Structure 1
Amino acid sequence: MEFDPSTLNRSLPLRDQIYQMIRTMIVGGKLKPGEPINEIAIAEALGVSRTPVREAVKRISDEGMVKILAQTGTYVAPISRKDLEEAYVIRRALEMESARHAAANFTPATAELLEDNIAAHRLAISRGRYANAIQLDDVFHRTIAEISGFPSIWRAVDISKAQMDRGRYLAIPRPGYGAQTIEQHEAILEALSRSDAEGAARAMESHLNTSLLNTLEVAGDLTD
């Protein structure tokens, strides 16, 4: 594990920054299922006390991405099929509703935001910048939540979708998966541009269903 102390802002809560740091490494696959998490080593690498590290790891454990085993140690949790499916159910419900409300608020200006996002996403895929592509995917969905007038929807989704994100980092390099995502984003945008609330919701559901199926296919050997 590589932890850079220069990335910490000592004037802000350390536990939140360390939480984001470790969580990002797990989601992105830099910390793999079964790999130990040594709180003392992380604290020493970052030049902090063990307390904010322990608090950060506990928070990630509450999200199901870390297993804390008494007398044994702390490990990155396996990718659980049940957790993937649960995250999908939560995300589908929230984002279908987000799309419905966004359709009512859609304008030429908001259409441009999503068009620019799709163009950047397509470029990232073509250049093999998969981490950037996933970030742009998140921006697309977050923007729809903001357009809907209920930005808290995205905050709830972001917490629940961590397990799906672990699978997405495995799935997106597969041939055709990135292009498929872009096509489905375009279908969502098309429905939103028509102010078709139910069409946008159905396009969102189809998109998230495909994402789940792709993730389950690629992560199958890693799921418990």
Structure 2
Amino acid sequence: MPSSKTRATSPGFPANQAVSRVITGIKQMIVSGELLPGQQIRQEQMAAALGVSRLPVREALRQLAADGLVVHEHHVGFAVARLGRAEFDQVYLMRRLLETEVIRSLPRPSAAQLAEIRAVAEEIERAAEDLDLALMRTLNSQFHLAIFGLSDLNLVVGEIARIWTWALPYHAVYLHDEAGRKRILAEHREMVTALGEGDLDRLVELMDAHRAGSEAQLNLMLQAGAAARPPLG
């Protein structure tokens, strides 16, 4: 019979599954806006909400802290990470540099790959029609990472995904404005077209404009000193 230590570290052990479930649940709460930047995450409440003990919650929070999505303060506890202007500037600098390199490395997608990416873009449009902003945010990340994932630069794509994670709590800002949503949807359609045509220069231009639009909205939020969810436009 294996020792308790062996069972606890086994890949299929339920404790590991519980940690993964908690990580997914907390990320979804952050993406949906249920947890806001700077908001404290109380382990007891989180354990009750997700139907687990405090142990997997504590381990999940440690992993999320290592990813930069939450922070830990001594004698205070864990809270959703809050980024300042300097951090945002660096996030967008790294995104521009890395995303541009990845896009320029993209092969021509197969018909099936392009159809899958187009399908995600269409799901985003349906979510926009329903004003399901949480779903829009989730699908938006999926759309972009699906494009980047066509590249063979796996390590760079992984770093892009990590950088995106840092800004997850703020991704909703530019979705609350109707004009902003329409711009995003139109740019997604153009990206799919450029990708299908193998026009990587055009795709870089579109991604630069797309990124600049969200960065401008975030800058407005930072200038106003607002980290909370804005009202629907």
TM-score relative to the length of structure 2: 0.76
* Residues 170 and 107 (structure 1), Cα distance of their counterparts in 2 relative to 1, 3 Å cut: same
Residues 40, 131 of structure 1: alpha-carbon distance in 2 compared, 3 angstrom cutoff: closer
Match of 1:184 in 2: 187
Residue 212 of structure 1 is aligned with which of 207, 215, 219? 215
The one-letter code of the counterpart of 1:194 is E
Matches within 5 A, 1:69-218: 69-102=73-106, 104-150=107-153, 153-218=156-221
Q: Which amino acid aligns with 2:19?
A: R
Cα distance between partner residues in 2 of 1:138 and 1:76: 19
Deviation at 1:128, TM superposition (A): 0.9
Paired with 1:189 and 1:67, the residues of 2 have a C-alpha distance of: 36
| 2:32 aligned with 1:37 | no
Shift of 1:154: 4.1
CA distance in 1, matches of 2:196, 2:45: 51
Cα displacement (A) at 1:152: 5.2
Q: For this pair of structures, how many residues does the alignment match?
A: 214
Query: Is the contact between residue 103 and residue 203 of structure 2 (CA under 8 Å) also seen in structure 1?
Result: yes
Distance in 2 (alpha carbons) for counterparts of 1:80 and 1:65? 14
Question: What is the Cα deviation at residue 91 of structure 1?
Answer: 2.3
Provide the rounded CA distance (Å) in 1 between the counterparts of 2:137 and 2:178. Answer: 15
Identity of aligned residues (%): 23
Unaligned runs of 5+ residues in structure 2 are: 1-12, 228-233
1:5 maps to none
1:183 partner letter: A
Q: Note the alpha carbon deviations across 1:26-52, whole angstroms, 9 max, x for none.
A: 333212234322224434555544332
Question: 1:9-65, CA deviations, whole angstroms, 9 ceiling, x for partnerless residues?
Answer: 937432232122223223332122343222244345555443322222122223334
Instruction: Please give the root-mean-square deviation of Cα atoms over the aligned residues, in Å.
Output: 2.7
Deviation of the 1:125 alpha carbon: 1.0
User: In structure 2, what is the equivalent of residue 4 of structure 1?
Assistant: none
* Aligned-partner SS, 1:147: coil
* Alignment pair present for 1:55 and 2:59: yes
Q: Which of 16, 21, 35 in structure 2 is aligned with 1:17?
A: 21
- Is the alpha carbon distance of 1:12 and 1:68 closer, same or farther for their aligned partners in structure 2, counting shifts above 3 Å? closer
Q: Relative to 1, partners in 2 of residues 1:72 and 1:94: Cα closer, same or farther, differing over 3 Å?
A: same
Residues 151, 121 of structure 1: alpha-carbon distance in 2 compared, 3 angstrom cutoff: farther
Residue ranges of structure 1 left out of the alignment (5+ in a row): 1-8
Amino acid at match of 1:64: G
Q: Which residue of 2 aligns with 1:64?
A: 68
3-state SS, counterpart of residue 13 of structure 1 = helix
Q: Following the alignment from structure 1 to structure 2, what is the Cα–Cα distance between the partners of residues 106 and 33?
A: 37
